Amino acid sequence: MNKAKIAVLVSGGGTNLQALIDAQKQGILLSGEIKLVISNKPGAYALERAAGAGIDTLVIDKKSCVDHAEFEQKLMDALAENGIDLIVLAGFMVILSERFTSAYPKRIINVHPSLIPSFCGEGFYGLRVHEAALKYGVKVTGATVHFVNEIPDGGEIILQKAVDIQDGDTPEILQHRVMEQAEWTLLPRAVEKVSKNIANE
């Protein structure tokens, strides 16, 4: 069986990466295989998770690059060298340029911790998303997996899952519930769905 070769791009702890690794072990992610984990930050805990699962890792330190274009070129070179079919952004804190995203149409996936089009776009990441949802007073939030294009959080939606907001929620409590109830199940399902399409091409 042909499997899509997946690269996961990370910047931090790698909880969404762990969800993908677990999904691969459990046979939820069947049509694709994580071949490479790339971090823009040395020392990101996600790298340890990948190494523990026997997945190749690579650090492309953005700070050591002359500019954003050089950073993206190094990324593209690494993806090409490894024959990567699908790129998954899992807590990757770098906005990718149109030059990069247009090179991989419908081949880059991101998970965002709200129901797009609410609380998304530039500046909405991490706890800020949950702070905004609570401040606005919405009763339902959730997570969205979408394709990545040149507009932050602007690509076509693949899957969404709603999560209820509860009395007494803090941004931290809400963040964890959205991860547990939505992100960690949604992302593997979306990656499998897109991988299957790629593998059948």
Mean pLDDT of 28-34: 97
pTM exceeds cut of 0.75: yes
Mean pLDDT of 33-37: 98
Using left for φ > 0, alpha for ψ between -120 and 50, and beta otherwise, residue 142 falls in: left
The residues annotated as belonging to the active site are: 112
Beta strand pairing status for 4-10 and 140-147?
unpaired
Mean pLDDT of 32-60: 97
> What pLDDT is attached to residue 8?
98
Asked whether the predicted pLDDT for residue 100 surpasses 90, the reply is yes
Digit-coded pLDDT (tens) for 115-162: 999 999 988 999 999 999 999 999 999 999 999 999 999 999 999 999
Range of the domain at 152: 4-199
> What pLDDT is attached to residue 1?
74
Q: Which run of H or of E encompasses 164?
A: strand 157-164
Give the whole-angstrom CA distance, residue 188 versus residue 95.
22
Quote the distance between the C-alpha of residue 117 and its chain's center: 17
Asked whether the predicted pLDDT for residue 31 surpasses 80, the reply is yes
CATH number at residue 132: 3.40.50.170
Q: Considering its fold, how many domains does the chain have in total?
A: 1
Per DSSP, what are the bridge partners of residue 160? Answer: 144
> What pLDDT is attached to residue 186?
97
> What pLDDT is attached to residue 201?
86
